[in-house]
Amino acid sequence: MLSKAAPQIPVGDGWHYEPKWDGFRCIVFRDGDEIDLASRNERPFTRYFPELLEPLKASLPDRCVVDGEIVLPSADGNGLDFDSLLQRIHPAASRVKRLSAETPACFVAFDILALGDESLMNAPLASRLLHLQRSLAGAEHPIYLTPSTTDVEVARDWFHQFEGAGLDGVIAKRLADVYSPDKRTLVKVKHVRDAECVVAGYRIHKDGKGVGSLLLGLYDGEGKLHHVGVTAAFTVKFRDELLELLEPLTHDALAGHPWADWANAMAHENARLPGATSRWNAKKDLSWVPLRIERVVEVTFGQLQNGRFRHGVQFQNWRPDRTPASCTYDQLDVATPVAFEDLMAVDSDRPAD
């Protein structure tokens, strides 16, 4: 099941609300001692998260299919750590083994698709939740049942209270709905904030024509410019306009550029500078064109995590009235950190027997 965005949490009878997790969507297939983890698009996850296999065996029924999310709680108690979760996808078995001990993940279940020989996909969500609750009644860390509620006021409270836990927002589901793969039957309400950022470079679109994305930067308190993300998804017309508009800023751009060491591959990996190899697609071209530090852009974003924007960074306007030096982290309204354990300890509605 997929979600579609909405500006507000839907209200009315028959709605069920859950946190929107910031992790890897994962379907767990269990058949006796065999457990397979896969993404919604059937990308295999099993080898990357060996620390979840035995806990899943101890927590799940002998034969079942469960839908949920792999998340990674931050070691410092500041909610979820998506950057560390990304590091878990690595081809080297030795690294996978080491990271499974150093940065262990958790699995949060929110639906069940099959139990024993019975498919539950055509059962309403209310019925599936009953089966899920009973199936995970004995689950222990690192396996969890997601908090959930039918009270919209509780959902609104979660939306604001748990943003600091690294959640994307709130998901609303209809209790009468069957499980519909690849259909956008869920409603997601996400956090939206704005920021004014330095435009320090751009990448050419994958089709080779026009600007595909703008590289964004913010200054810290010591005057260092950090790469905080990109804004993209431009129209074909705007991609061409950007290429022409930014061309004068490419002249002598590396002279004194704060990211001039971008060609150093080690610097890319450690400092999260642009130009590094994509962890998901080694063939993806992440080369970029540096610009003189003169332009400021206003963008909207969902959340800030480890000094970088997460999800949905959207171009809004150019800000010729702002200087690059004014684009600092201090402008951002950052949510108060909330520990993963505190989030999982909240009271939830439970279906009646």
Q: What is the pLDDT of residues 47-66, one digit of tens each?
A: 999 999 999 999 999 999 99
What is the spatial distance between Cα 265 and Cα 273, in angstroms, rounded to a whole number? 9
Instruction: Report the distance separating Cα 278 and Cα 161, nearest Å.
Output: 33
Q: What is the pLDDT of residues 211-224, one digit of tens each?
A: 999 999 999 999 99
Is pLDDT of 154 > 90? yes
Report pLDDT digits (tens) over 168-195.
789 999 999 999 887 778 899 988 889 9
| Max avg pLDDT among 19-23, 129-133, 155-159 | 129-133
Greater model confidence, 245 or 255: 245
Decide if pLDDT at 353 tops 80: no
**Is 342 strand, coil or helix?**
helix
User: Is 4 an active-site residue?
Assistant: no
Distance from chain centroid for Cα 7: 18
Q: Return d(Cα 145, Cα 108) in angstroms, integer.
A: 6
DSSP designation for 60: S
Binned at pLDDT 50, 70 and 90, residue 350 comes out as low
Percent of the chain with pLDDT over 70: 91
Q: Is the pLDDT of residue 137 over 80?
A: yes
- Spatial CA neighbour of 125 closest among 186, 191, 59: 186
The predicted model scores a pTM of 0.77
Q: How many CB atoms lie within 10 A of CB 132?
A: 26
Residues 6+ apart with CB under 8 A from 235: none
**Quick one: pLDDT at residue 282?**
46
DSSP state of 116: T
Distance, CA of 154 to CA of 140 (rounded, Å): 25
- Annotated catalytic residue within 20, 173, 188, 190: 20
Complete domains list, the chain, with CATH: 2-190+339-344 (3.30.470.30), 193-331 (2.40.50.140)
β-strands 2-5, 15-20 pairing: unpaired
Q: Assign 23 a pLDDT band (cuts: 50, 70, 90).
A: very high
pLDDT tier, 32 (very low <50, low <70, confident <90, very high otherwise): very high
- Asked if residue 94 has pLDDT above 90, the reply is yes
Q: Closest Cα partner for 3 from 120, 145, 172, 136?
A: 172
- Per DSSP bridges, beta strands 106-115 and 143-145 are parallel
Residue 10 clears pLDDT 60, i.e. is over it: yes
Q: Work out the average pLDDT over 30-42.
A: 93
